[in-house]
Structure 1
Amino acid sequence: MSEVTKNVAAPAAPAAGPGDRRGPGGDRRGPGGPGGPGGPGGRRNGPGGGRPQRRDGRGNDAPASEYNDKVVHINRCSKVVKGGRRFNFAALVPDAIRKGTDRAHRALVRVNLRGNTIPHEVIGHADGGVVMLRPAAPGTGLIAGGGVRAVLEVVGLKDVLSKSMGSNNPQAIVKATMDGLSKLRTLEQIKNLRA
């Protein structure tokens, strides 16, 4: 089987932005109904509505990033009111999201893969989190949850078994997963170390 090496950044945990007003059903509410301002049934410029896009491409200032960003955890808070529960999402400030992704890009880790799985079993430790990763047969899929799944999907792994132990703090789990992935070695690397 062929050996592959990838550079991976630990995913930042961006949540809903400050202007993201979503109701309990997850839809945007505003003038014009669930589609938001000018959405289906809205009053601005027919279906689709909203402000027309520029034809010259100006206004698209954000360059396409070569890295994948993945949401690891969104903090959902609930408040009990007379009519039932009202849910709120803790929003991260966009500047904090940018700083977090910049730090992740500076902390890239080289990961050794074997096809769609990992070369051998490994245990990663960070803070209170412990994550065990095991290679799986083709077609098994990602048996992982939460932060572990987010990291393994960004890496591009398809067949891995995992078990999270210790702390259930998402940051500790993500760091432990990155620690485990950075410990992976290919057969050739192990031969060179022993020679």
Structure 2
Amino acid sequence: MGASPSLPRQLAPAASSSDPEGSIRGDLTSTDEPIPLPTLRLRVGATDAFTYSVWSDRDVSNDSRNELIERVVRIKRCAAVVKGGRRFSFAAMAVVGDGKGKVGWGYGKANEVPPSVEKANKQASRSLVKVNLVDGTIPHVVKGHYGAARVILVPAGPGTGVIAGAAVRAVCEAAGITNILTKSFGSSNSVTLVKATIDALQQLRTNQDVERLRGVSLS
């Protein structure tokens, strides 16, 4: 392949002190080497003179912000009887996690659905708890309860997937669990099931945690 095309050395006249646009007009008369075309963006101004600007090399796709996984578990409509009729409001419960071992839940109320969901997501993002995971699953069998709801979580091998109901599945997926077996007993209320699942996940301990707590070696 031949060399890339280049601009001539004298593209525009040198800016003079009396020219008010001299600060933005390109002065290429003193350039020793030709400037490659791909590094320039050319446009014609009002004075028929070429100006140039270098393209930015910043990659906006490499954003370092951590994106959270948001799951809406339940939206409930409430009605208050007032003098003029009934006034409706909405309550939403959401589960938020980073997919890497942190998960939390939140509850929000508002007169419309979107504000209630936004409030729930904000509250959930402030109440994230750490969950111990091993290769996409939990390290051992664990039981959790809240109110009348009881949940049993069992580790599973690769390819099993998340075997759970809607409420328990939302918590597991937000926490980053990809393989797990679950069973719920008692109440089927989604709010209590979410809290029972998080209670179970907070009880998980790895071998290193047990060794540190007991002061013994398990190897």
Q: TM-score, normalised by structure 1?
A: 0.56
The runs of 5 or more residues in structure 2 that have no matched partner are: 1-64, 78-90, 93-111
Instruction: Give the letter for the 2:73 counterpart.
Output: V
Query: Following the alignment from structure 2 to structure 1, what is the Cα–Cα distance between the partners of residues 120 and 148?
Result: 21
**Secondary structure, counterpart of 1:94 in structure 2:** helix
Structure of greater relative contact order (alpha carbons < 8 Å, 6+ residues apart): 1
Query: Following the alignment from structure 1 to structure 2, what is the Cα–Cα distance between the partners of residues 66 and 151?
Result: 16
Query: Following the alignment from structure 1 to structure 2, what is the Cα–Cα distance between the partners of residues 71 and 94?
Result: 11
Of 162, 180, 186, the residue aligned with 1:160 is: 180
> After superposition, what is the alpha-carbon deviation per residue over 1:140-175, rounded to whole angstroms, capped at 9, x for unaligned?
111111100111111111110000111100000011
Partner of 1:68: 69
Partner of 2:152: 132
How many Å apart are 1:102 and its aligned residue? 1.6
RMSD: 2.3
How many Å apart are 1:127 and its aligned residue? 2.0
Equivalent residue pairs, number: 120
Partner of 1:188: 208
Instruction: Give the letter for the 1:119 counterpart.
Output: P
Q: CA, structure 1 residues 65+96, in 2 after alignment: closer, same or farther (shift >3 Å)?
A: farther
Of 143, 150, 167, the residue aligned with 1:123 is: 143
**Secondary structure, counterpart of 2:204 in structure 1:** coil
The runs of 5 or more residues in structure 1 that have no matched partner are: 1-63, 77-89
**Secondary structure, counterpart of 1:116 in structure 2:** coil
Partner of 1:147: 167
Query: Following the alignment from structure 2 to structure 1, what is the Cα–Cα distance between the partners of residues 165 and 74?
Result: 12
Q: Percent identity?
A: 49
1:1-195 correspondence runs (5 A): 66-74=67-75, 93-195=113-215
Which stretch of structure 1 is more off in the superposition, 64-73 or 106-115? 64-73
Higher strand fraction: Structure 1 or Structure 2?
A: 2
Partner of 1:7: none
Query: Following the alignment from structure 2 to structure 1, what is the Cα–Cα distance between the partners of residues 133 and 73?
Result: 22
Query: Following the alignment from structure 1 to structure 2, what is the Cα–Cα distance between the partners of residues 151 and 159?
Result: 13
